[in-house]
Each structure stands twice: as C-alpha cells, then as structure tokens.
Amino acid sequence: MGVKKVLGRRAHCAMQTIRNTKRGIMAKSAKSVTLPRALPRKTTKEIYARLAAADPEPQTELNYTNAYTLLVAVVLSAQATDKGVNKATKDLFAVADNPQAMLDLGEDKVRDYVKTIGLYRTKAKNVILLSERLLACFDGRVPNDRKDLESLAGVGRKTANVVMNVVFGMPTMAVDTHIFRVANRTRMAPGRNPLEVEKGLVKNLPDEYAQHAHHWLILHGRYTCLARKPRCWLCSIADLCAYKDKTPAPDEA
C-alpha cells in the first residue's frame, strides 16, 4: 500500500473522530424537569436479585457469531425488532461475517439482504462505512473502547454499550426504549433522556449484578413491563415498583 494511501486513510479516521466529537458537544440538553426521587438502593438491589433468580444467565436475543457480526446486528436493530434482524442476518452472515467479506459483497447486495428491516438503505450504507473504517483504522477488529466504537458509522452510545457488554464483558448499561420505560416506571432511575437514565441506573447498580443488569431490564420491559399494558399481575417485582396504575389480572378487570 502506498504512503499517500496510508496517510489518506489516517486523515479520514482523524476527521471522522473530530466530527463525532463536535456532534456530541453541540447536543442540546433537555429542558429542566423535576424528576421523582429514585428508589432506595436496597430496593433496587432486591429488584435485581429477583430478576437474577428468574433468569441467572440472560443473553442477547440477536444472533451473531463473532464481535463483528454482533456489531452489525446491533446497528441493524435500531428501530427494528430482534426477530426481524435475525431473519435478515441469517443469510447475510452466511456470506459475510467479517469486514472484508462485507466490503467484497458491496452496498447494493447488503441492501438486498436487509431490505426487510426499517431504514435499510441507510443501515446498509452504514454497514459498509463501518466495515471500511474497521479495516482502515483498527486492522479489521472491533475495538473495545467507547470512543473508537462511536467513531463508526451507525454506532451511538447504546450500540457501543451493547458491544462492550456482550463481547468484552464490561458492566455497561445500554438504555433502549424498554430500559428507559422500566427505569422511569419503576423509579429505579428516573430520567428525561437515555443518558440520564443510564447514569442513574449505573449509580445504584450493585457490583454483583452489573454484568447482566441491562439484559434483565430489557427482557423485563420486552415481555412483562409492556408499554401500553404492563403485565403487572405476572410481575415478580410488582410490590417493589413505584408505578401507581398497575394493571390488574384479566379476570379482575
């Protein structure tokens, strides 16, 4: 590879990092709103204890075979269901499970594989761009550093947290719509935005539950603490939850 090409790639990596840094600095904070007090740490610990007892080793529901395929799957999962992503990636990952293979496949073919997923055109483009950057800046490996991960196309804080937790075993809290709802509804960590919720959850997160906490909360929000009609009558933490309008059992309604 020529010197000019190497320098060009490095310059591209540096400029992308600068753009992402500026984007974060320019983000506006939400309007000041008085939030309710969070649950006591003792109560939060009991919530995690009950969720852990019910599911000691929770796993992501996205299918993947290595760090790269998990990264791609999480990028594709934005505003999409895990089930829908798994259906699309089954064939995609069979032919491209690393950055170079994905580039060889090309954006048009990637788009064909993921066209059943929402925003598939943008996502296909991001998959190609992040693959290019992985090869240019990280020797084709998925980095374990948040700043490096967030420098990749289509990767924000939530996606970085998922990869850091699932692949590298870091005790991160990936706040999606489910966790945001559960944290505010139960008052485990009231917040106006995902970052506030993340900080609140991490602040009161017992060390012994840190590794699996975000999976427990995601799964709880996905299958029990539903958005429109939470299944409170089946909830193992209903007596600890601060939500006032609990849903009664169907035969009691």
Q: Any idea which residues carry the catalytic annotation?
A: 158, 176
Q: Which two tokens stand for residue 91?
A: 């064939």
Rounded to whole angstroms, how far apart are CA atoms 180 and 170? 20
Rounded to whole angstroms, how far apart are CA atoms 27 and 169? 29
In this structure, the chain runs to a length of 253
Residue appearing with tokens 């709880």 = 220
Write the single-letter amino acid at 69. Answer: T
Rounded to whole angstroms, how far apart are CA atoms 209 and 51? 10
What DSSP state is assigned to residue 15?
Answer: H
Residue by residue, DSSP assigns 57-68 as S---SS--SSHH
99, 143 in Cβ contact below 8 A? no
